[in-house]
Amino acid sequence: MKYLFLTVALFFSYVVTAQIDIQFPLLEGESLTREFVTLPEDVNGKYTLIGLAFSKKSEKFLNGWFNPIYQSFIFKPDGNSLFAGNYDVNVFFVPMFTGAKRPAYEKVMQKVSEDIDPRLRPYVLFYKGTMKEYKRTLDFEGKELPYFYILNPNGKVIYTTSGQYSDRKMQIITEKLEPAWN
C-alpha cells in the first residue's frame, strides 16, 4: 500500500513539474473584440494567466473560473477604497478549435460574444489550428479538463493546474502572482 501511494504521489509530482520552466509555445488567438494576440510574444514583460480549453466539457469547467479570476485579477477597485491595490497581470481564457471543431470557430465565436459579459470579451481568445504543438510542449493529459498556466514576464511557465475551479487552486494562483501585486 505504501508503494502504491508513493508511486501515485511521484506521478502527480511529475505531472505538475513536467510543465514548469518551459517557454510557453506561440499561440495566436482572436479576442471577442476582434483583436489578434500572440502569446506569449504580445505579453512579455508582465505576468500572464492563461486558461486553455480543448473540448466542450473543458469549456464548461473553464466557465467556472471566469468570475473568480475576473474579481481577483481583472476588476480594478476604486482607488480610494481601503483595499485599492490590484494585480498587474494579463489574463486570457482560450477555447481551442482544433481538428473537426475548426469549421465551428466563427459561429461559436459569435454566440459566445453575444452571451458573455461584455467586460470579459477582451480576455477571451479563440484559437483555430492544431493541438499537436501544445500537447507536446505543455505535456497535458487529456482534452476533458481546462489547463491553466502562469507565465513569468519572460513567457516561461512557472505554475500549472487543471480542472474545475476550487478555492485552493485559486489561492495557489494568487500566491504565484504575488510579485504582480501593485
DSSP assignment of the chain equals -HHHHHHHHHHHHHHHHTTTTSBPPPEEEEETTS-EEEETGGGTTSEEEEEEE-SHHHHHHHHHHHHHHIIIII----TTSTT---B-EEEEEEEEEEGGGGGGHHHHHHHHHHHS-GGGGGGBEEEEE-SHHHHHHH----SSS-EEEEE-TTSBEEEEEESS--HHHHHHHHHHTGGGB-
| pLDDT the model gives residue 18 | 47
| pLDDT the model gives residue 16 | 44
Nearest to 37 by CA among 120, 93, 117: 93
Interatomic CA distance for residues 182 and 175, integer angstroms: 14
| pLDDT the model gives residue 100 | 87
The pTM is what?
Answer: 0.86
| pLDDT the model gives residue 15 | 41
Which residues make beta-bridge pairs with 111?
A: none
Looking up cell 469549456 gives: 59
| pLDDT the model gives residue 142 | 80
Tens-of-pLDDT digits for all 182 residues of the chain?
444 333 334 344 444 444 688 999 999 999 999 999 999 999 989 999 999 999 889 988 998 999 999 999 998 876 666 555 689 999 999 999 998 888 999 999 999 999 999 999 999 999 999 988 998 899 887 889 999 999 999 999 999 999 999 999 999 999 999 999 88
